[in-house]
Structure 1
Amino acid sequence: MMYIANGGTTNDRSLSRTGVGTEFYANGGGNGMSLQLNLRDVQKYLQQQKLDGWLIYDFAGLNKVALEIIDLGGHFISRRWFYYIPAQGEPVLLLHKIETTNFPAIAGKQVTYAGRHELVARLGDIIRKGSRIAMEYSPENAIPTVSYVDAGTFELIRQFGAEIVSSANLVQYFTCRLDDEGLASHKRAVTALHDIQAEAFRLIESKLKSDGKVSEYAIQQFITGRFREHGFVSNSEPIVARNGNASNPHYSPSAHTTDIIRPGDCILIDLWAKEDKPGAIYGDITWCGFAGQNPPEQYVEIWTVARDAREAGLALLQQAHDQGKTVQAFEIDAAVRAHITEKGYGEYFFHRTGHSIGEDDHGKGANIDDYESKDLRDIIPGLLFSIEPGIYLPDF
């Protein structure tokens, strides 16, 4: 089931009710998904969080966050570079002497190095002892989407007497909040996805009436064809799964490995896509259906448990909004999972409740997760994420 809600409320649910999964957009403004950072805003945020600075580090493109917030203009920088944004004062770019003509102009002072001893010395000039510095690091790799600083670099910076904390909240605040166009792009994607899934189920119905069967792969290819007609792209093929295949969350049929859908089957369709243009935001929905008039009681029971679990997560968000409180991402997962466990199906729910959504279907913002990890990030205005519990029994 997907909801788009303003300011953390759910007043507009009727506009986007779709299935068991949910996307929740907390509206409150923001600076969008830009590659440019407003340094004044960053420094203000650092001060609010009692951080002395943000040290952005990359080597040969390993730090995806660094490459998103600093546009290298297509240049490949072959040596290590650091960009330090202090809570107060002028930023510092530290890079190798051979890269000075390749690195794009950026706010702050440029400092160069050549040999490794000079690199360490220059870093020592930048990093003050006792300072609290954010980097793309996550304790115990709890949040892999912001964990790009290697252990050796972590040790190098820490030897200067700095305390290193995760930049996860910084990254979320400055790169994951949707602006008005981002939200509009998401809504256009969702509208199209709704239409396409409805067409896919109608095609299944038609084929079963005329031929008594249709392959999962044929329906999958129908959906991808409709993506192309809408001018949409996706990072992988949609999922069309019958019966036991639906119990595999990442099952995908192919021309050589596909089952045949027949009357009486349970059918799952999971589809995600976005407009094929810069800055477009994904939509991501999942539907389950039954090829017949009267679904078995067990199907209805499982669907009801999953739906009510989803509603438990939304109720937590609604309550926090009404009380002016902030919810952390893991708390939503805990509420959803508690309901499924109470109903006796906890062992069959073996993934996190939801994920961040942005220009990538799985974004860098807060994941609704107290299972695969414990995502302690706050749900802040402007985030888009799914609430999509699943119960995966052996037969469906």
Structure 2
Amino acid sequence: MTSTSFDTAELYPTTRVAAVAEAAGRAGLGALLLTPGPDLRYVTGYEAMPLERLTCLAVPASGEPFLVVPRLELSAAEHSPASRLGLEFVPWDETDDPYALVARRIGPVGRVGLADRMWALQSLRFRDAMPGAEQVLAGSVLRELRMRKSPAEAAALAEAGAAIDTVHGLVPGLLKAGRTEREVGKDIAEAIIEAGHARVDFVIVGSGPNGASPHHELSDRVIQPGEPVVVDIGGTMPSGYCSDSTRVYCVGEPPAEFTAYYEVLRQAQEAACAHVRPGVTCESVDAAAREVITEAGFGAEFIHRTGHGIGLETHEEPYIVSGNTEPMRPGYAFSVEPGIYLAGRHGARIEDIVICGETAGERLNHTSRELIVV
């Protein structure tokens, strides 16, 4: 188990709702409507159950915010971190129309921001209840706030990184020739929970040719002697913040061609991490890794972006990819995970979570990046 190095209340400060309302006003929106998912949790700390019954935080650009909840969920909301924020809780009963209730209380607005993960069922009902309001994504307003992690969020991500590092430390004892990927994956999933995560988000164990498929996950394939194995794992901590880290292992002596390109990959990942600092663009971090791999002749085998943002979601902005000219700012947290994949043979990926500091990047994962032979 990891020890928490932050005040949980600091993850969801009482000032955040006001900051969101101000951002909505600057963006020309009359209100934000946030249903269960990462946007709602970011603003309030409430991990609401996603149901066909509407739970919705309404944040007007001017006016008082309020949380509409089904009456049967009122107790859960009142016992969540949202209770610290001074919000009005507005319960509704089974025969009420909660969409009309929200529209009535907000009043006429020209544009409204809907949570990025809002169900179509709900967005269409809001369109009917607010026919004069143009619907846009709330993420256009929240992205700047969510991308730049606070010190408490950075500490939560560091806690998640330490927890998943603990699991990677156990993997060499789980990988053996003759075991299936699924058997190894089951043990890893149990270890993720034992290391302090609230839930397992994914377990990838890609042995031999399966390692050339970046999102392979698990199969009943038996691991063979001399095979590289890509292990990419992550989960969500009780804080709501996520872990994600990839290491490569080999069961016995690795093939010579694999050893050669793995060293290229290691250098590429190192170059990208070293490049991180305020002011450089997200695409330049991608380029730092891609140039090393391309110069070694494996450019066509690097088939995905170099990284993705991470926080309350495993994949969120900023994305570390060509075309993203967003400059790095202190607090940006993201993966650096170049890969080389030889279809039908094997593959490799090295992944750390990195947070941009005031002068440079800081890795949040600290297990060895060398090829680990077991």
C-alpha distance in 2, partners of 1:154/1:377?
32
For residues 326 and 152 of structure 1, do their structure 2 counterparts lie closer, same or farther at Cα, with a shift above 3 Å needed? farther
Q: Offset at 1:230?
A: 3.2
1:56 aligns with 2:19: no
TM-score, normalised with respect to structure 2: 0.64
CA RMSD for the aligned pairs?
A: 4.8
1:313 aligns with 2:272: yes
* 2:246 corresponds to: 286
1:65 aligns with 2:65: no
In structure 1, the residue corresponding to 2:58 is in which secondary structure?
A: strand
C-alpha distance in 2, partners of 1:365/1:251?
23
C-alpha distance in 1, partners of 2:335/2:137?
23
C-alpha distance in 2, partners of 1:72/1:289?
36
C-alpha distance in 1, partners of 2:231/2:99?
57
C-alpha distance in 2, partners of 1:120/1:274?
31
- 1:245-289 deviations in Å (ceiling 9; x for gaps): 1112222335xx131331x222222222354xx315333221113
1:271 aligns with 2:227: no
Larger fraction in strand:
2
C-alpha distance in 2, partners of 1:121/1:189?
39
The number of aligned residues is 327
C-alpha distance in 1, partners of 2:16/2:63?
13
The partner residue of 1:85 within 60, 68, 92 is 60
Structure index of larger Rg: 1
C-alpha distance in 2, partners of 1:116/1:259?
53
Equivalent positions of 1:249-260 (< 5 A) are: 249-254=214-219, 257-260=220-223
Q: Offset at 1:389?
A: 1.4
C-alpha distance in 2, partners of 1:95/1:191?
37
For residues 241 and 116 of structure 1, do their structure 2 counterparts lie closer, same or farther at Cα, with a shift above 3 Å needed? closer
The partner residue of 1:332 within 272, 276, 285 is 285
C-alpha distance in 2, partners of 1:108/1:233?
29
The partner residue of 2:154 within 178, 183, 187 is 183
For residues 154 and 310 of structure 1, do their structure 2 counterparts lie closer, same or farther at Cα, with a shift above 3 Å needed? farther
C-alpha distance in 1, partners of 2:230/2:21?
47
C-alpha distance in 1, partners of 2:163/2:50?
36
C-alpha distance in 2, partners of 1:51/1:158?
17
* 2:303 corresponds to: 350
TM-score, normalised with respect to structure 1: 0.61
* 1:389 corresponds to: 338
C-alpha distance in 2, partners of 1:146/1:331?
33
Q: Residue type of the partner of 1:171?
A: L
In structure 2, the residue corresponding to 1:90 is in which secondary structure?
A: coil
Structure 1 contact 136–149 (Cα < 8 Å) conserved: no
Structure 1 contact 55–85 (Cα < 8 Å) conserved: yes
Structure 2 contact 100–129 (Cα < 8 Å) conserved: no
Structure 1 contact 282–358 (Cα < 8 Å) conserved: yes
C-alpha distance in 2, partners of 1:119/1:242?
54
1:196 aligns with 2:167: yes
1:366 aligns with 2:329: no
Which structure 1 segments of 5+ residues have no match? 1-30, 138-144
More relative contact order in 1 or in 2 (CA 8 Å, sep 6+)? 1
Q: Offset at 1:169?
A: 4.9
- 1:142-186 deviations in Å (ceiling 9; x for gaps): xxx689797757977997476x65432533344465444543443
Which structure 2 segments of 5+ residues have no match? 1-8, 347-374
C-alpha distance in 1, partners of 2:104/2:39?
23
The partner residue of 1:40 within 13, 18, 21 is 18
- 1:68-94 deviations in Å (ceiling 9; x for gaps): 5354977968359672421xx324659
The partner residue of 2:192 within 227, 230, 239 is 227
